[in-house]
Structure 1
Amino acid sequence: YVVDEELVWTDAQKYCRRIYTDLATIENQEEMNTITTLLSGKTVNYWIGLRQKTWIWSDGSNFTYSDWYPGEPNNPVGDICLKLYQTYSYQWTDAECQYPTSFICYKKIPLILVEQQLMWWEALRYCRENYVDLVSVLTNETQEWVEAITKNVSTPNVWMGLRFACSQPFWFWVSGSTVCYQNWAPGNGTGVEDCSNGRRSGAVQSGSKQWVSLPDTQKLNVICTI
């Protein structure tokens, strides 16, 4: 989340912790590439969550990856924080934390991808025994989280907590929520399901990220809430 309001580093940290999770943490080149793409077209500099006092990320993560501009860091003393410098294509520089600067926050995704291949009721039991539940996608934001964690799945579809009640008939989330927000693929979820060969549940396609109706017996990766 890019915040173009300019704050000193400590105030930026407070802002991110109040509204999101924390100032951004960058732990590998893939994450750095994502940030660079996010900032494409921007013309200002940005704080992220690294401070020289401890050289540990604001959220407590260990500092192992770096992308310093050549010659950086070059401020050995003082209250120094990490800044993504626009002139250097957003490579890292160190700067005094007291200067108001725009900043980047992140929000922790409360989901986990289980890469085991399980039938739907096995997936439900696994999520409830090890985490919280199968994911319920109630908003567009949750759908975006689902899309983010299903980039490298090993099955063509991934189980969610979406279930069809054959006796009623209607779709519902196993968390108890009704299905209001929807992202069905064409031909799915809008008519009466054929339960003659067993119960049906909802999955998200690994390609289009749209939802499909599938027999419970298919063995797929799983998304759990944490």
Structure 2
Amino acid sequence: MGHKTLICAGIFIMHLMTTTRTALLSAGSNITVLQQYHFINKSLTWYEAQSFCRLKYTDLATINNMDDENQLINTLGSNVTSSWIGLYNGQTNRWLWSDGSGIASFTQWSPGEPSNSGGVEACGLMYDNGLWNDAQCGLALAYVCYEIQQDGSKKYVVYTQGQTWQNSQDLCRQKHTDLACVQTVQENLAIAAVTNVVWFGLFKDSWYWSDGTKTSFRYWKRGGSYSGNCVSVEGTQQGRWIPADCNKKATFICQGGLKLKKTVIKMKVQSDVDLTDSTTSSLILQKLETILSEQGLTDVQLKYERVFQPQLKTTENAGC
């Protein structure tokens, strides 16, 4: 009499995955998506840190405004080291706006300006006729700040006590939104109507963001002498930024959610045990997880999809 043995052939498809994370801040009835920053406590060059962040997250940290800067400082926490962010020297100067709104596409330069007399004029001022000039940032002048009203309009506030451009920027950010930026003829006329000669939010620099973001927000450390083509944030200086040598090794800050990483492993298994049995399947996955862990792969989720194709094999037994 013959009997039949069930041979189970299956293809196990293992998915190795990490998960994404999101962060939302609720402010009244508005929901604002926060920048997600991650402090990475390992020392790499700026270029190595950029590669790491692009592999694991989105890129090195970009800071768009003071809200982002405060979020960055919170991420640093008690870490007081110098940490790379995504700003680097692109070698090409552009005129930008202090509040982060990018390149000055609208301009009202006086005839022959900007002249960069002596090669040291990197800040913008406005005359009472609405025309602009470039000047040395260390001059003490009146300055004009702005803030956004509830109806979306801009309110301009002029301070007549002379300050350097940098000090004017700090004071405007403390009391209002920032130094005044100008996007239209109407805004330019509104500022000129209440001023004589004032600093406003125009400045010139050659720094770019690693992720291609056009934001022109800057938060430099005041004073001191620094050099280098990459930027680190200083935990000991209230999160201020300094230029540094890109080949120096430092901790760094990435941005963005942890990338979804999916690796598919296909393995064909043929056995005389029942691969549709959940206990058997669990034992196989546990064994694979152990092997992956021993190889240094952690924080993974393992699952499989089974393509089950039973085959019947008949075996004849000889008998009397």
**Superposition TM-score, scaled by structure 1 size:** 0.46
Greater length-normalized contact order (CA 8 Å, ≥ 6 residues apart): 2
**Superposition TM-score, scaled by structure 2 size:** 0.33
Which is strand-richer, 1 or 2?
A: 2
Of structures 1 and 2, the larger Rg is shown by 2
